[in-house]
Amino acid sequence: MLSIDRALLDIPPNRQRKEVPKVHVAGLKDSIFGKMLLHAPVAQPTPNGRYLLVAGECRTRAIDLGHSENLTFIYNRESFPPGRMPIVLVDEA
């Protein structure tokens, strides 16, 4: 697991899921920030030092929503303030 700056994680535009229901993301945000994040998004490193999201788009959007409200969440006994997020690299998943 890595803790990265959220700005370094890119969501590819050609994702399988074309629309993410806002109600789903809001419910997921309530769960993540009210309890904890169970599974970190999966990403792969890119040559330019960034990360490309492979799995966990809804979780990422829920984290973005909570962070826009200045909320902090817990993952793996670690606290993640706005702007930080955990990822698991694809070769570790």
Q: What is the pLDDT along the chain (93 residues), one digit of tens a residue?
A: 999 999 999 999 888 777 888 999 999 999 999 999 999 999 999 999 999 999 999 999 999 999 999 999 999 999 999 999 999 999 886
Counting DSSP H helices and E strands in the chain, the numbers are 2, 7
What pLDDT is stored for residue 65 in this prediction? 97
Q: Which two three-digit tokens encode residue 85?
A: 């997020």
Contacts with 21 (C-beta within 8 Å, 6 or more apart), sequence order: none
Q: Which two three-digit tokens encode residue 72?
A: 């902090």
